[in-house]
Structure 1
Amino acid sequence: MKKVLARIKGAQLRSKQRDTAMPPPQPEEPFLAIGDLHGRADLLLELDKMIEENFRGWPVVFLGDYVDRGEESRAVLEMLMPLSSKGSPSVTCLMGNHERMLLDFIENPLQSARRWIQNGGLQTLASFGLSIRLDRLKDEAAMRTTRNQLADAMGTEMIDWLHTRPLSWQSGNIWAVHAGAKPSEPMEVQSSRYLLWGHPRFEHENRQDGKWIVHGHTIVEVPYARKGRIAVDTGAYATGVLTAAAITPGEVSFLQTGAG
């Protein structure tokens, strides 16, 4: 098997977990968790080839943020929509905060336009052949027109698919979420706000229940697995480096595009 595990700054990112404060990750079966895509359909295709060559048959969970910032949001959604969590292997696509912002714009265009546009919505609109005037973000008629144009371009099937994205996925003692979680609360009762936007103590306070959290949302230069957190968002839309964590019992390694 050709080895394509990532090398960053000359160091291979593959190691047994030695964090004695946490039990080792113990998924029910090996799986891959893929970080934020943000409109990089090209990187998704590149990573898919690497997975086919080296991890064929492994379940995959995408950690959200498929749209905005990159130029090919529409293409990414069209590539992901046919995939199924009930297939073999299963593919699960979680919701990210950028999907939530897109849906907020569709549901409440005037109230939600500015936040979405300031966070990469322009690129998503462009991928559907649309544009928006920045000096009219407070114009209710203009925002409603843009919203209707976007809804027509996306179609009900795509909008419904986004609405039904789960917020979390579990395998053994590992939970996959988009952004993070409140360390002191059981994963089963986490607020959607924490799962989509993170929690201020997530990166600084360790969980006490032995659960590992694999997540995107927060860009890191080098992906890592330590103290119960597995971070895989390497800013693909800007860096060209899309990261997947390959998680097996007791071990986490990283697969990347544009690295090594």
Structure 2
Amino acid sequence: MKRMLVISDIHGEIYKFERLLEETSYDPAQDQLILLGDYVDRGPSPKAVIEKVMALKAQGAILLKGNHEDMMEKAFQDKQRLKHWFRNGGQETLKSYGYEVPEVHDLDQLVASSYPLKKTETLAKHLEFIHQLDHYYETEDFIFVHGGVHPTTPINETDPYLLMWIRDEFHHGYNGEKPVVFGHTPTDHFHDGFGVFFATNNIIGIDGGCVYGGQLNALELPSKKTYSVKDI
């Protein structure tokens, strides 16, 4: 492979995602694509994104699980988990799968009118795909993860939940020799704007907050060249 291309936090933005792949001139025969999770929720077309990344994985892309996929899986287990998912944009995901989601602003009422969720054949297939995704990917030179790594715990011994959800403890506490490329936290939390964030403690944030008026970023490695697509 000539290069690695890393993208995170697509959040249902299928058109931005496809445009970004074009911008990078992605070629599955030449490039290793690495996707760091959060394919669903908030944006307009989560189902289309899942279908796209499934096809990309079949071509050799490496896919990780994000905290929004974690919430999506658990939403079918009980009302509190469904409420948590709805609080974080799960309604948009259900709508993209053809579910009729009541237009109510009260979260408890929304949960009561929606639970229990029934899985369509397509959704069940996609949930099984999501369930099998890895939580991190490591090479000789980089660590790739959705949320981050625990500063003092070996990554292969870390609770997968932490790898998807960790924030401040990782952002401020990591000082490892190997750079960690992560998503999960929009980069405007670290510096001005939504561009890729290269920190002095060897962490590289690439979540450009594309569903918050930001942009969808791609990081090329080992060159560290960056690409981005903003709102049309």
Letter in 2 for 1:121: G
Measured against aligned partners, the alpha-carbon deviations of 1:67-126 in whole angstroms (never above 9, x if no partner) come to 0010111111111112226x4xx30111000000000012x1313111100100111111
TM-score, normalization: structure 2? 0.86
1:255 aligns with 2:227: yes
Moved more, 197-206 or 166-175: 197-206
Alignment of 1:219 onto 2:193: no
Correspondence list, 1:1-260, <5 A: 30-52=3-25, 57-84=30-57, 87=59, 90-106=60-76, 108-130=77-99, 131-132=101-102, 134-137=107-110, 139=112, 142-144=114-116, 147-148=117-118, 151-152=119-120, 154-208=122-176, 210-220=177-187, 221-226=194-199, 227-239=201-213, 241-248=215-222, 251-258=223-230
- 8 A Cα contact 1:241 1:257, kept in partner: yes
In the TM superposition, residue 184 of structure 1 has moved relative to its aligned partner by: 1.3
* Cα RMSD, aligned residues only: 2.3
Greater Cα radius of gyration, structure 1 or 2: 1
Amino acid at match of 2:144: A
Greater relative contact order, per chain length (Cα 8 Å cut-off, separation 6+):
1
Per-residue displacement from partner, 1:47-81 (whole Å, max 9, x unpaired)?
11122268972101101000001011111111111
Equivalent pairs, count: 220
- Contact 2:219–2:225 at 8 Å: present in 1 too? yes
**C-alpha contact (below 8 Å) 1:113/1:137 kept by paired residues:** no
Give unmatched runs, 5+ long, in structure 2: 188-193
**Residue of structure 2 equivalent to 1:14:** none
Amino acid at match of 1:166: D
Structure 1 distance, partners of 2:62, 2:51, is 15
Say if 1:183 and 1:206, in contact at 8 Å, map to a contact too: yes
Counterpart-to-counterpart distance in 2, 1:84 and 1:124: 21
* Greater than 4 Å deviation, 4+ residue runs: 53-56
